[in-house]
Amino acid sequence: MGVPFGPHVGEIEAVGGLDLAATMFEVALVVSLALLYRQGTLVPVREAEVTLAEGGRTVREFELTAEETEIEVAPGIVYPAWAYNGQVPGPTLRATEGERLRIRFKNNSPHPHTIHFHGFHPANMDGVFELVGKGQEFVYEFDAEPAGLHLYHCHTSPLRKHIEKGLYGAFIIDPEEGRPEADEMVMVMNGFDTNFDASNEVYAVNTVAFHYQRHPVQIQKGRLIRVYAVNVLEFDFINSFHTHATFFHYYPTGTRNPRSGEIEPSEFTDTKIFGQGERGIMEFSYGFPGPFMFHAHVSEFAELGWMGVFEVEE
Amino acid sequence: MGRENRGPAWVLLGLLPLLGLGVLLALILSNGVGVGRNDAPPVEDLTVGRVTLPTEYELVVHVQNGGPNPVTLEQVVVNDALWDFRVKPDNRIPRLGSAEVVIPYTWVEGEAYEIVLISETGTTFDAEVPVAVLTPGFSGETFSSYALIGFYVGVVPVTLGLLWYPFLRRLGTAGMNFVLALTVGLLVFLVLDTLLEALEIASELPGAFSGVPMVILVALLTLFGLLGVERLFRRGREEASRLATSYRIALGIGFHNLGEGLAIGAAFALGEAALGTFLILGFTLHNITEGVGIAAPVLKEKRPHFAHFAALALLGGGPAILGTWVGGFAYSNLLSAVFLAVGVGAILQVVYEVGRLLLRDSARSKTPALSGTNLGGLTAGIAIMYVTALLVSV
């Protein structure tokens, strides 16, 4: 997204104690996690996340609708996309580990679709075999685990087509202990095959080629920045993320280190390679003001749209 | 019905279908035809012509819209990078409209470039620069250097071929018939060569132009037209003069050489042909037999005036100069296809004419038309052209 979240994002107040739990349903809206660009306009994700307390446990409900829409993926070029809630990438879904998730999925498009979440869940919640046809609904319900940065996407065959058309989004499970306070942003690295020849014509983070070059992302000097980077690129096996003039702590998949059990970075670098479906959290700050580029270090992708600028302010 | 019945009412009768057509068109334009469908995506059919490099910092892609819908170009990719560009006159190219896509790009000499034009619907159109070299602009120097190329590949070999005239005149009847048959052979080769070239260019035209049928029909119309004209030349005599036949052979060969000039000029301008000594030599060898062909009909006549030979050489070889100019400075697939198709018709006509000369000679000498001499000459003509053509693939 490139658009910083407020510092309070992710702090969820579970309402209702254990004693009240059986009867009490309280609703709290949380701040939307992502802003998406659609046809070149900044469109906030609708506030679809609802926090309920059931049996003293936070239940988080989302509504996702698959539909067909047209998206301007580069100035002047309109792509016929398949989208969750009319946006590509789909809304970022966010929860804290251990919470219950309930995702109501409705298919308003002529093709059958599903939602396949990365994470732990029963087989019938895997969004693979239970095709949701035109006009049908399905409710996915499972616990939010493990903590980390994941993704969700359609898993209907032909799989590649259902992903590349735009049916994907970021899925964040915050660790119980939380992460240090930071300005956060979601960057879904994607591309579009506008002439249907099984290769991408346009590359980007969050869909629109060169968008963050034309509209630099404002960040504060010295402020901790956290980027949730998800690679959903199809056709090309490798994508990458490169920051100029700063290094980042990289947390692969945002999960705990399997040996220490702690959330700790695996490396300190300025360039990271991502395979298909690979994602990770990057934390960094800038020591100097001014415009700094960030882009795929696969130069071809950079020059075909996956390029942006951080505007660092004093 | 007599002529007296053709009054004003008769004119009205002739206008009746046109009136109906007008009403129909008006209805369609105002209400549509009622069979359109809005769910289908627009058909975009942009034909990429030449890519020129007028300066060291520009690539210019020439395009033509041959599809039923306008095409709007929104992005341009050069070697896998989205790039700045502007379209003259406008990035919305109407049906049958042409445009130039000007891309500011500091290209590297000798390298290859792949250009992709992306329309608003995401459809792509490919263009390529096989070898980046500066496209020669129009100047006195380039003008004369193109003329020199045309002179080398057209006028020189035809003139050299004509110089065989005194030698060939001393051949016996059989030898002269051999030369005539050889002429037919080389002309048959030229018909096929020119026709295939014309069809190849025609197939690159936007579909709306129906290039391939156009080439065939233009060739046929030229053939019939020239056959009709030939009757006028006879002026009541049984046969046209043999000198006139020579002129018509020169004309047909001239059209062929115009086509060769077009191809050479275009290839030279695009940097596709390193027009070296070898190629010049090849064309000289290839075209030298054309001079023999032009001289063949007048071998048995009183020697024509020297000025006639100069005129024949110019008519047969000169168009190569014209061709290199057009190909180098103002290349157009449509014009090239038409020129070459006219050439096909013109050469077909002289094949017919020279063939008739041969038949008449054999009838007079009571030898079979397909005698050993004639067959040998025919084969030799085709073989010479085929072998020397190996030297001149542009």
Mean pLDDT, to the nearest integer, of B12-18?
88
Q: Which residues of A touch B92 (CB under 8 A)?
A: none
Q: Position B12: which residue type?
A: L
Q: Which residues of B touch A201 (CB under 8 A)?
A: 77, 116, 118, 122, 124
Q: Which residue of B has its CA nearest to A80?
A: B121
CA distance A197 to chain B (A): 10
pLDDT value for A245: 96
**B348 phi, psi to nearest 5 deg:** -55, -40
Q: Which residues of A touch B74 (CB under 8 A)?
A: 74-77
Classify residue A183 by burial, with Cβ atoms within 10 Å: 0-12, 13-18, 19+. Answer: buried
CB contact under 8 A, B75 and A74: yes
Question: Which residues 112-151 of chain B have a CB within 8 Å of chain A?
Answer: 116, 118-124
Q: Which residue of A has its CA nearest to B120?
A: A77
**What's chain A's length in residues?**
314
State how far the alpha carbon of A90 is from the alpha carbons of A96, A99, A189, B297, B322, in Å.
19, 21, 13, 81, 62
Residue of B39, B46, B74 to mutate, interface with A, max A Cβ within 10 Å: B74
- Angle at B366 (CA atoms; ends B364, B368), nearest 5 degrees: 115
Radius of gyration of the CA atoms of chain A, in A? 19
CB contact under 8 A, B82 and A79: no
Q: For residue B312, name the pLDDT band (cuts at 50, 70, 90).
A: very high
Radius of gyration of the CA atoms of chain B, in A? 26
Q: For residue A28, name the pLDDT band (cuts at 50, 70, 90).
A: very low
CB contact under 8 A, B74 and A300: no
Mean pLDDT, to the nearest integer, of A108-119?
96
What is the DSSP code (8-state) at residue A244?
Answer: S
Please write down the HEC assignment for all residues of B308-375.
HHHHHHHHHHCHHHHHHHHHHHCCCHHHHHHHHHHHHHHHHHHHHHHHHHHHHHHHHCCCCCCCHHHH
CA distance A305 to chain B (A): 7
Q: For residue A19, name the pLDDT band (cuts at 50, 70, 90).
A: very low
Establish if B39 touches chain A: CB-CB under 8 angstroms.
Answer: no
pLDDT value for A39: 31
Highest mean pLDDT among A85-99, B23-37, B355-369: A85-99
Q: Which residues of A touch B76 (CB under 8 A)?
A: none
Q: For residue B213, name the pLDDT band (cuts at 50, 70, 90).
A: very high
pLDDT value for A41: 32
pLDDT value for B340: 84
- DSSP conformation letters of A151-206: EEE--PSSHHHHHHTT-EEEEEEE-TT-----EEEEEEEEEE-TTSSSS-SEEEES
pLDDT value for A226: 97
Classify residue B124 by burial, with Cβ atoms within 10 Å: 0-12, 13-18, 19+. Answer: middle
pLDDT value for A37: 34
pLDDT value for A38: 33
Task: Write the pLDDT tens digit of every residue in B34-57.
Answer: 776 666 777 888 989 889 898 999
Over pLDDT 70: what percentage of chain B?
A: 92
Residue of A194, A213, A235, A300 to mutate, interface with B, max B Cβ within 10 Å: A194
Residues with Cβ within 8 Å of A147's Cβ and at least 6 positions away in sequence, in order, are A97, A173, A174, A175, A176, A254, A255, A256, A263
pLDDT value for B275: 53
Q: How far apart are CA B116 and CA B133, in angstroms?
A: 19
CB contact under 8 A, A74 and B82: yes
> Whole-model pTM?
0.74
More confident residue, B72 or B368: B72
- Weakest-pLDDT range from A4-8, A27-31, A105-109, B77-81: A27-31
CB contact under 8 A, A304 and B74: no
Listing from the earlier edge strand, what are the strands of the sheet with B58-65?
B46-52, B58-65, B98-104, B86-88
Helices (H) and strands (E) in chain A, counts: 3, 23
More confident residue, A29 or A249: A249
pLDDT value for A24: 31
Chains A & B: contacts with CB separation below 8 Å: 52
* ipTM of this complex prediction, to 2 decimal places: 0.70
- Weakest-pLDDT range from A63-72, A103-112, A149-158, B153-162: B153-162
Task: Write the pLDDT tens digit of every residue in B147-164.
Answer: 988 898 889 989 998 998
Model confidence at A62: pLDDT above 90: yes
Q: Which residues of A touch B119 (CB under 8 A)?
A: 77
Mean pLDDT, to the nearest integer, of A230-244?
96
CA distance B79 to chain A (A): 9
Q: Which residues pair with A183 in a beta bridge?
A: A225
Q: For residue A44, name the pLDDT band (cuts at 50, 70, 90).
A: very low
Q: Which residues of A touch B122 (CB under 8 A)?
A: 73, 77-79, 192, 194-195, 201
Closest partner residue to A76 among B75, B81, B116, by Cβ?
B75
Residue of B121, B125, B126 to mutate, interface with A, max A Cβ within 10 Å: B121
pLDDT value for A292: 97
Model confidence at A303: pLDDT above 90: yes
Closest partner residue to A303 among B74, B81, B123, by Cβ?
B81
Model confidence at A17: pLDDT above 70: no
pLDDT value for B36: 66
pLDDT value for B362: 82
pLDDT value for B370: 81
Mean pLDDT, to the nearest integer, of A163-191?
96
Q: Which residues of A touch B118 (CB under 8 A)?
A: 74, 77, 194-195, 201
Model confidence at A18: pLDDT above 60: no
Helices B277-295 and B242-269 pack at an angle, to 10 degrees, of: 170
Model confidence at A248: pLDDT above 70: yes
Task: Write the pLDDT tens digit of every residue in B381-392.
Answer: 899 888 888 876
- DSSP conformation letters of A265-281: -SEEESEEEEETT-EEE
Helices B372-389 and B277-295 pack at an angle, to 10 degrees, of: 160
Model confidence at A25: pLDDT above 80: no
Residues with Cβ within 8 Å of B198's Cβ and at least 6 positions away in sequence, in order, are B215, B219, B259, B336, B337, B340, B341, B343, B344
pLDDT value for A191: 97
Q: Answer whether B261's CB lies under 8 Å from B324's CB.
A: yes
Model confidence at A109: pLDDT above 70: yes
Task: Write the pLDDT tens digit of every residue in B259-281.
Answer: 888 878 877 776 655 555 666 67
Task: Name the average pLDDT for chain B.
Answer: 84
Mean pLDDT, to the nearest integer, of B313-320?
92
Q: How far apart are CA B256 and CA B343, in angstroms?
A: 6
CA distance B86 to chain A (A): 14
Q: Which residue of B has its CA nearest to A303?
A: B81
| Element (DSSP H or E) covering residue A22 | none
More confident residue, B1 or B91: B91
Task: Name the average pLDDT for chain A.
Answer: 85
Q: How far apart are CA A99 and CA A52, in angstroms?
A: 10
pLDDT value for A27: 29
Mean pLDDT, to the nearest integer, of A76-80?
94
More confident residue, B286 or B169: B169
Residue of B77, B79, B82 to mutate, interface with A, max A Cβ within 10 Å: B82
Closest partner residue to B123 among A195, A202, A303, by Cβ?
A195
Mean pLDDT, to the nearest integer, of A123-149?
96
Burial of B184-223, coded b for 16+ CB within 10 Å and e otherwise, reads bbbbbbbbebbbebbbbbbeebbeebebeebbbebbeebb
What is the DSSP code (8-state) at residue A1?
Answer: -
Tracing tokens 């115009």 back to the chain, one arrives at: B258
Q: Which residue of B has its CA nearest to A209?
A: B82
CB contact under 8 A, A304 and B81: yes
Q: Which residues of A touch B72 (CB under 8 A)?
A: 76
Residues with Cβ within 8 Å of A248's Cβ and at least 6 positions away in sequence, in order, are A227, A268, A269, A270, A272, A282, A283, A284
Model confidence at A40: pLDDT above 50: no
Q: Which residues of A touch B43 (CB under 8 A)?
A: none
pLDDT value for B330: 78
Helices B211-234 and B333-364 pack at an angle, to 10 degrees, of: 40
- Weakest-pLDDT range from A222-226, B3-7, B46-50, B343-347: B3-7
pLDDT value for A281: 98
Mean pLDDT, to the nearest integer, of B22-43?
78
pLDDT value for A253: 97
Q: How far apart are CA A58 and CA B85, in angstroms?
A: 54
Mean pLDDT, to the nearest integer, of A109-137?
96
Which parts of chain A fold into alpha helices (H)? Answer: 159-164, 211-214, 299-303
More confident residue, A220 or B177: A220
Model confidence at A215: pLDDT above 90: yes
Residues of A with CB under 8 A from a CB of B: 73-79, 192, 194-195, 197, 201-202, 209-210, 300, 303-305
Q: How far apart are CA A118 and CA A142, in angstroms?
A: 12
